Amino acid sequence: MKYQVRSPLASRFLGTTGRTVAYVVMGLFAAMTIYPILWLLLNSFKSTPDFRLDKIGLPPKWFPVNYAGAWTVGEFGKFIPNSLLYTAAGTLGVLFFAIIAGFAFAKIRSRATPVLYGSFVMGILLSIQSVMVPLFIEVNQLDLLLGALFQSLGIMKATSFHLFYNTRLGMILIYIGSGLPIAIYLSTEYIRGIPGALVEAARIDGASFFAIFRSVILPLTAPIATTIAILQVPAIWNEFALINIIISKNELKSLPLGIMRFDGTRMTDYGKIFAALVVGMMPMLAFYVVFRKQITKGVAGGALKG
């Protein structure tokens, strides 16, 4: 039962118009999401000549061969495993380092905390893309520098040393480093909420911080670990800008780089492009369908004030 304001007629009129406008605008936004995805799906089953004849209708004959073609051209068989590795290792790395650091920031007194923690929080706002060129130069130089060291020791030639540049390890470390700011912010704030008495009691019993971390803190961090993982997985899986400049070796490329191959000269073989885009979209859509509630919660939590 709603209570009416002074002029019921005027307010009801405004309400109806407002409501209609709201539905139209939101409907437009929704349509711009739903229709292009359906359009993409339908056209991925059309042969290129059929697409040229009719861009919006149903496929006259279903043409699943597009997928086989796209799979070969995009080398998805090679890039999807790479993407899985980067995402899994990157996410686990972020989780591990963020939670141990968050424990230290939240529960161990140190004068270094304001500076260190503050710089992580600051990092949330700095765009990692803005340093992709110096980062590229840095990983390249690190290898050359270490290589020169090994050469002077007579172990190997300087140029054949690869630890960070164009390696899986280098890429994973970069993903961990760039994921840390938001993850450390979330884990620190969360662990701060765990009663200090739990830690104090264990300390009085003579437990070391490692033991406290393992037996007191770690079991309680499952919710925030889920949130961090759920934010990291799509971020790493979909990442393009950094891996595009850091990785040039074909065997190490990830799915987004494979999808990008369908831009440019191949932009005329529409059937394959649509199939490639569907392949690029599906894993994260499935992830979204399964984890929507947690994703929504994590995103909302990431915006909270610290």
Q: Hey, which residues between 130 and 169 contact another protein (CB under 8 A)? A: 130-138, 141, 144-145, 148
Q: What angle do CA 281, 66, 292 make, to 5 degrees?
A: 15
Euclidean distance between CA atoms 61 and 49, whole angstroms: 11
Among 46, 262, 271, 272, binds another protein (CB under 8 A): 262
Q: Are 259 and 276 in contact (CB under 8 A)?
A: yes
Of residues 51 and 63, the one with the C-beta less far from another protein:
51
Site string for another protein, 241-260 (x = CB under 8 A): x---x---------xx--xx
**Min CB(189)–another protein separation in Å:** 13
- For residue 37 the two structure tokens come to 């995805």
Q: 113-151 in b/e burial notation, b at 16+ Cβ within 10 A?
A: eeeebeebbebeeeebeeebeebbeebeeebeeebeeee
Region of 75 (left: φ > 0; alpha: ψ -120 to 50; beta: rest) is left
Q: Does 13 bind another protein (CB under 8 A)?
A: no
Site string for another protein, 166-185 (x = CB under 8 A): -------xx-xxx-xx--x-
Among 171, 186, 273, 275, binds another protein (CB under 8 A): 273
Q: Hey, which residues between 186 and 205 contact another protein (CB under 8 A)? A: 203
Region of 245 (left: φ > 0; alpha: ψ -120 to 50; beta: rest) is alpha
Q: Does 224 bind another protein (CB under 8 A)?
A: no
Q: Does 108 bind another protein (CB under 8 A)?
A: yes
Euclidean distance between CA atoms 229 and 240, whole angstroms: 19
Among 17, 110, 160, 215, binds another protein (CB under 8 A): 110
Q: Does 225 bind another protein (CB under 8 A)?
A: no
Of residues 230 and 252, the one with the C-beta less far from another protein:
230
Q: Are 105 and 184 in contact (CB under 8 A)?
A: yes
Instruction: Select the span of 2-10, 66-74, 84-92, 189-197 touching another protein (CB under 8 A).
Output: 2-10
